[in-house]
Amino acid sequence: MEHRNLAFIGAGNMSRSLISGLIKAGYPPSSIMAANPSKGKLSQLAKEFGIGVSQDNSEVANWAQVVVLAVKPQMMAEMLNALGQTAQLLSGKLLISIAAGLSVTRLTELTGQTRIIRTMPNTPSLLGLGMTGLYASSAINQDDRDYAEQMMQAVGKTLWLNDEDGINKITAAAGSAPAYFFLFMEAMAAHATALGFSAEEARLLVEQTALGAANMVSANPDVSLSELRAQVTSKGGTTAQAIAHFQAQALDTLVADAMNAALLRARELETQL
């Protein structure tokens, strides 16, 4: 992919995931910078990946051709207002937001810029296994779309969204979703421990089974999820009892309600930030 000067403003969990994935995919460390108020995370990034770092957002914005807006949604206005005071810093640069709940319109208000692509990645990007949604208005040219897509494909898979609310939907379905699986795994590990396995054994059982199940899905693109489930579920056997319990407790409704709660929160943030 094209190696434009790429700056991350906000060097937290998600930036770290993206930077790590990009470096693994061969993006030159000398073409990446990150800015953060505190030194600790920056020193770690510089040490681990050899990228440039600064505690001064304007320094990295000034250097960059592409600026990734990667602070918490609630911090974005303050951060961009402060940058805006050092006038023209963002002018003419491609801005890629990874923040939940900040619309392109709001980002344009805050930056005075229109060259903006909104994305929603997730943390498995750290391992090159991310899932990222992208949205750009029709004003964004193909070169910029290709760059953003290739940047996110360096750390996983991508899906373009036709309308901006698609970003909120993908937040519910993929951005937040690693945490749903972790929660499920936590519950399984807790009960495996209650059944008498040690914490290490419980983690091994859950980890290896989740990995195996995810790989079964990935290795069998033509087999439906329900068929893969059926292959485990012997008639009159043990799995059927567990599945019947999940279904009696309306697991599908519970999951739908949880995803809707995430979606509504993403939409609510758009009205508040």
Ligand X SMILES: NC(=O)C1=CN([C@@H]2O[C@H](COP(=O)(O)OP(=O)(O)OC[C@H]3O[C@@H](n4cnc5c(N)ncnc54)[C@H](O)[C@@H]3O)[C@@H](O)[C@H]2O)C=CC1
Ligand Y SMILES: O=C(O)[C@@H]1CCC=N1
The site for ligand Y (CB under 6 A) is made up of 100, 171, 175-176
Stretch binding ligand X (CB under 6 A), from 29-37, 110-118, 184-192, 227-235? 29-37
* Residue number with CB closer to ligand Y (36 or 125): 125
Nearer to ligand X, 119 or 192 (CB): 119
Show the site string, 34-63: x = touches ligand X by CB under 6 A, - = not.
-xxxx--x---------------x------
Which of ligand Y, ligand X, none binds 158 (CB below 5-8 Å, type-dependent)?
A: none
How far CA 252 is from CA of 32, 90, 146, 242, 249, in Å, comes to: 42, 45, 36, 14, 9
Cβ partners under 8 Å of residue 192, min gap 6: 201, 202, 205, 206
Report DSSP state, residue 66.
E
Which residues in the 66-105 window bind ligand X by CB under 6 A? 70-73, 75, 79, 98-100
Which amino acid makes up residue 113? Q
Told to check if 107 binds ligand X by CB under 6 A, we report no
CA distances (Å), origin 244, targets 130, 207, 235, 247 = 32, 23, 12, 5
Q: How far is the CB of 229 from ligand Y (least distance, A)?
A: 27
Binding-site partner at residue 9 among ligand X, ligand Y, none, CB < 5 to 8 Å by type:
ligand X
Q: Is 160 or 246 the residue whose CB approaches ligand X more closely?
A: 160
Of the candidates 64, 74, 124, the residue with the CA atom closest to the CA atom of residue 99? 74
| E-only strand ranges, 24-82 | 32-35, 52-54, 66-69
